[in-house]
Amino acid sequence: MKDPTQLPLPVESVLDEVKNALAEASCAVLQAPPGAGKTTRIPPALMKAPWLSGRRIVMLEPRRLAARAAAFRMASGFGEPAGNTVGYRIRMDSKVGADTRIEVVTEGILTRMIQADPVLSGVGLVIFDEFHERHLTSDLGLVLCLDLQEAFRPDLRLLVMSATLDAAKTSELLGAAPVISCSGRLFSVDTRYRAVGRDGPDDRSVAEAVVSASRTEKGGILVFLPGAPEIRRVAARLSRASLEDQWEVYSLYGELGREGQERAILPAGPGRRKIVLATNIAETSLTIEGIGVVVDAGWVRVPRFDPRTGMTRLVTLPVSRESADQRRGRAGRTGPGVCIRLWPEVLHASLPAHRTPEILEADLVPLALELALWGLSDPGKLAWLDPPPESKFRQAQGLLQELGAVDKQGRITGEGRTMAGLGIHPRLGRMVLEGRREGIGKTACLLAAILEDRDFLSFQAKSRESDVRLRLDILAAMSAGRPMPPGTAAVNQVRCRRILKWAERLGRRLSGKPGKLRPERAGRLLAWAYPDRIAMARTGQIGRFLLSDGGGAHLSSIEPMSTEPFLVAAELDGNRTDARIFLAAAYDRQTLEDQFQGRIQSKETVRWDAESRSVVGMREKTFGALVLTEERIAAPDPGKTLQAMLEGIRSLGIEALPWNEALRIWRRREMFLRQVFPDQHWPDLSDPELLNSLHSWLGPLLKGVSRLCDLNEAALKNALFGLLTWKQHREMDQLAPSHLTVPSGNRKAVDYSGALPVLAVKLQEMFGCRQTPSVAAGEVRVLLHLLSPAGRPVQVTRDLESFWRQGYESVKRELKGRYPKHPWPEDPLSAAPTAEVKRRA
């Protein structure tokens, strides 16, 4: 057997420490930078440890590409093909045998292994590699291993490895596990910053940086981009950039086929140099030969679950400093390198320090199902590095109960056990099981495989992609060797083959006959998975739909499905009020009523109709927020009618009531007294308070009233007057009179609408009056608006005596010539007040 550790790597300096730590403790933490060799050196070095006693090592890798690459690299060190001493198991691919001692698996595979064998028979060590990525399934795998270690397998060893890990926190979780640190063999990396726009990924700037580096720097170039669309666009720019003949451009992302991924990883040929355009898949674990330059666009695409909408969507975010350092390190693996960061240096410190653990932001429905299968409904009984948010977990349990996977106590049902064994999202698991019952299991498995993968169609007109039945037709044609349906030239053949393979594997996991492919039943099948996304067309709005969970959704009006009366939306964006529908199937009312008969409710509703300003009673048949049928009720429940009237008035505002001017003046007088005498219990008649207490003061007068127009001014007056006692009514006339008698003998209205009461009166009518009139038992002097003979204000004052002494003469000079028929005495205090001209006076 060839020595697998023939090439020295930095991690070899701590191999004895790792061996000793695991010999003395059940858990350990290894912190080693990228390139130190921990992935490929640690497992072979531990194979002969006495405490392992011939049992297997299972190493968890977060990504399929990294798992396969690590297995092949270790196997080559033994001079063997993968599948002998070293093997791997990933989704839809495995190479393991009876002699396999080191098994590299992806996260979901580890969970299935533990659930199938809760004591992990034959396994002596589980290694969690690149744990800093903090995927939900790796967190779950660790807590399950800790739980089974405590309950059944105290001899099971756990090793957590990472380059950028919170070692202290992880050690504490593992029971004060020893921490071994290894310094890397990282060469110096010259880090350069470029000030480009930060509104999103800039393909032009990336391509320019790559072309510039290709002419001035040594070694291959690794470019980090958020996703496959950006990779394709940058590749197109580079193809037009007249690179030198020695350069070869490769792509590297998760959805790429295995051959394409392996070409990106392998060394360039003699005299050739390579440019690898990659997602964050190349941050860790993988070794890409010959890289001397890293160009980092500074963005990452991650899934984010929105508990309001119940949907997961991909969002593009700035990279964390932790990830930026990981990317930078790829340039210093084999010699001095260069890292070009496409953001200003001043902004680097503002980037988030670490990536957010997926458990805090992911869809927790699969996690809740796995815990239920483990026998737990409360995640608090397990030891987590970061526990799942309680509200999101309860929401996930609610959906599982709706899908029939758990009972009301959160315990797993027989259906739930079967769903968990399928290895797909519980929504799709329910769909597949129902499809088997209905004899259309083949269609259900194919639909599940389509929804688990990325879309394999790429239309120029994005609005013509949403019908999932088109995908079923294409896959059916491909599997049967028939011509493709018209208009489907842009088909990703690699994804199609992967989907067909996964659907076939799902079908084998089901018992019973698969049945024929029935694309026309797609809507019914999707409804089992997404009962909350059954959509009904909004009246008179083409392409606009109401979802059964109360949200809104839309299709482009030029899409054929935009005129469907019902749809089931399988894929939407995260907009709660008006989500874009990406994948859906046609549906119909009759199928809905047949399929969900037990959940359709018949009820009488009494509601306010804003258009007619009246209360209407309806007898409705509903499914969630969808009203399937309705008919008018002649005499709705009186109590509900009253409540709906009050709600309608609140929605319109207090001014919608039949106020007249006299009633408005009365309310202003009362509010004035409340302000002046706050301790005398004058009621609050402000708009907010009247609306808040509408039921108590207006409700009694609304009995039998179902239309706002039936509420008259007299009824409103009686309701408002009833808020004051008889004594308060009498005091209000005395303290806040509606009119005051002025010296001329005339009664003038007092205006209480402002901060101070206002009395508007002609100047001549106040002759002989020294004191300013007052209200509120003399507490408040009115604000006098003294008017000209034509009724225009000439002076505003609260000090009448001062006006006669200081202001009257100037007013007199200005107006006497203009109004000669009116009296303008020299001494206004001795003159007789009058509202008449001289002769009449």
d(CA 177, CA 31): 13
What pLDDT shows up at residue 158?
A: 96
Domain end, chosen from 730, 759, 779, is at 730
pLDDT reading at 153 higher than 90: yes
What does the angle CA 71 – CA 72 – CA 78 come to, to the nearest 5 degrees?
95
The amino acid that residue 395 corresponds to is: Q
Task: Provide CB contacts within 8 A for 513, sequence distance 6+.
Answer: 439, 441
Helices (H), 622-660: 638-652
d(CA 552, CA 535): 8
Residue 394 lies in a domain: no
Task: Provide CB contacts within 8 A for 695, sequence distance 6+.
Answer: 646
DSSP reduced 3-state for 502: helix
Average of per-residue pLDDT across 821-838: 87
Band (191; pLDDT cuts 50, 70, 90): very high
Whether residue 259 is found in the same domain as residue 316: yes
d(CA 103, CA 123): 10
What does the angle CA 365 – CA 369 – CA 371 come to, to the nearest 5 degrees?
115
**Considering only CA atoms, which of 33, 38, 62 is closest in space to residue 329?**
33
DSSP reduced 3-state for 27: strand
Other beta carbons less than 10 A from residue 516's beta carbon: 10
Whether 261 and 65 have beta carbons less than 8 Å apart is answered as yes
Residue 404 lies in a domain: no
Task: Provide CB contacts within 8 A for 241, sequence distance 6+.
Answer: 207, 211
The CATH number of the domain holding residue 333 is 3.40.50.300
Whether residue 281 is found in the same domain as residue 246: yes
The amino acid that residue 560 corresponds to is: P
Band (5; pLDDT cuts 50, 70, 90): very low
Largest CA distance in the chain: 135
Whether 22 and 91 have beta carbons less than 8 Å apart is answered as no
d(CA 736, CA 673): 7
Band (646; pLDDT cuts 50, 70, 90): very high
Quick one: how far is CA 408 from the chain centroid?
A: 27
What pLDDT shows up at residue 136?
A: 92
d(CA 781, CA 768): 18
d(CA 93, CA 497): 14
CB neighbour class for 342 (10 Å; exposed up to 12, middle 13-18, buried from 19): buried
Band (634; pLDDT cuts 50, 70, 90): confident
Whether residue 127 is found in the same domain as residue 198: no
Helix H or strand E encompassing 69: helix 64-77
The amino acid that residue 149 corresponds to is: Q
Residue 630 lies in a domain: yes
pLDDT reading at 542 higher than 60: yes
Q: Which one has a higher pLDDT value, 712 or 92?
A: 712
pLDDT reading at 2 higher than 80: no
Residue 413 lies in a domain: no
Whether residue 231 is found in the same domain as residue 130: no
**Considering only CA atoms, which of 524, 569, 527, 557 is closest in space to residue 309?**
569
Whether residue 142 is found in the same domain as residue 200: no
pLDDT reading at 34 higher than 80: no
In the chain, the percentage of residues whose pLDDT exceeds 70 is 95
The amino acid that residue 472 corresponds to is: L
Task: Provide CB contacts within 8 A for 19, sequence distance 6+.
Answer: 45, 46, 49
The amino acid that residue 331 corresponds to is: A
Whether residue 672 is found in the same domain as residue 800: no
Whether residue 465 is found in the same domain as residue 582: yes
Residue 275 lies in a domain: yes
What pLDDT shows up at residue 459?
A: 59
Reading the block at residue 704, the tokens are 């039998």
Q: Which one has a higher pLDDT value, 645 or 511?
A: 645
First to last CA, the chain: 133
The DSSP 8-state label assigned to residue 713 in this structure reads H
Whether residue 670 is found in the same domain as residue 748: no
For 58-104, write each residue's pLDDT tens digit. Answer: 999 988 888 888 999 899 989 999 999 999 999 888 999 999 999 99
Helix H or strand E encompassing 86: strand 86-90
Q: Which one has a higher pLDDT value, 309 or 515?
A: 515
Band (44; pLDDT cuts 50, 70, 90): very high
Average of per-residue pLDDT across 513-522: 87
Q: What is the mean pLDDT of the chain?
A: 89
**Least trusted range by pLDDT, from 416-430, 505-519, 539-553, 655-669:** 505-519
Whether residue 78 is found in the same domain as residue 130: yes
d(CA 226, CA 300): 4
Distances (CA, A) of 276 to 34, 189, 221, 243, 357: 18, 18, 6, 14, 27
d(CA 829, CA 802): 11
- Number of folded domains that form the chain: 5
For 94-128, write each residue's pLDDT tens digit. Answer: 999 999 999 999 988 999 999 999 999 999 999 99
Residue 416 lies in a domain: no
d(CA 369, CA 111): 12
Average of per-residue pLDDT across 431-437: 94
**Least trusted range by pLDDT, from 38-42, 325-329, 568-572, 575-579:** 575-579
Per-residue DSSP letters for 305-337? EETTTTEEEEEEEEPPHHHHHHHHHGGGSSS-E
What does the angle CA 263 – CA 264 – CA 266 come to, to the nearest 5 degrees?
65
DSSP reduced 3-state for 556: coil
Task: Provide CB contacts within 8 A for 664, sequence distance 6+.
Answer: none
Reading the block at residue 380, the tokens are 């608090």
Helices (H), 453-573: 468-480, 493-509, 522-529
d(CA 571, CA 133): 26
Whether residue 504 is found in the same domain as residue 458: yes
Residue 594 lies in a domain: no
Per-residue DSSP letters for 36-65? S-HHHHHHHHHTT-GGGTT-EEEEEESSHH
In terms of residue numbers, what domain contains 103? Answer: 10-181
The DSSP 8-state label assigned to residue 300 in this structure reads E
Whether residue 671 is found in the same domain as residue 805: no
Q: Which one has a higher pLDDT value, 282 or 748?
A: 748
Average of per-residue pLDDT across 669-693: 93
The DSSP 8-state label assigned to residue 597 in this structure reads G
Bridge partners of 388, per DSSP, are none
Other beta carbons less than 10 A from residue 817's beta carbon: 8
pLDDT reading at 184 higher than 80: no
Whether 476 and 517 have beta carbons less than 8 Å apart is answered as yes
Domain end, chosen from 143, 158, 181, is at 181
Whether residue 802 is found in the same domain as residue 713: no
d(CA 315, CA 471): 25
Other beta carbons less than 10 A from residue 107's beta carbon: 22
Band (1; pLDDT cuts 50, 70, 90): very low
CB neighbour class for 91 (10 Å; exposed up to 12, middle 13-18, buried from 19): middle
How, if at all, do strands 739-741 and 220-224 pair? Answer: unpaired
What pTM value is reported for the model?
Answer: 0.74
For 459-481, write each residue's pLDDT tens digit. Answer: 554 446 789 999 999 998 888 88
Domain end, chosen from 730, 754, 782, is at 730
Band (840; pLDDT cuts 50, 70, 90): low
Whether 719 and 696 have beta carbons less than 8 Å apart is answered as no
Reading the block at residue 165, the tokens are 């890990």
- HEC profile of 6-26: CCCCHHHHHHHHHHHHHHHCC
Band (584; pLDDT cuts 50, 70, 90): very high
Band (573; pLDDT cuts 50, 70, 90): confident
The amino acid that residue 573 corresponds to is: D
Reading the block at residue 514, the tokens are 């698969």
Task: Provide CB contacts within 8 A for 451, sequence distance 6+.
Answer: 428, 529, 570, 571, 583
d(CA 694, CA 716): 12
Whether 69 and 281 have beta carbons less than 8 Å apart is answered as no
Task: Provide CB contacts within 8 A for 597, sequence distance 6+.
Answer: none
Residue 374 lies in a domain: no
Reading the block at residue 700, the tokens are 């009694």
Average of per-residue pLDDT across 720-732: 94
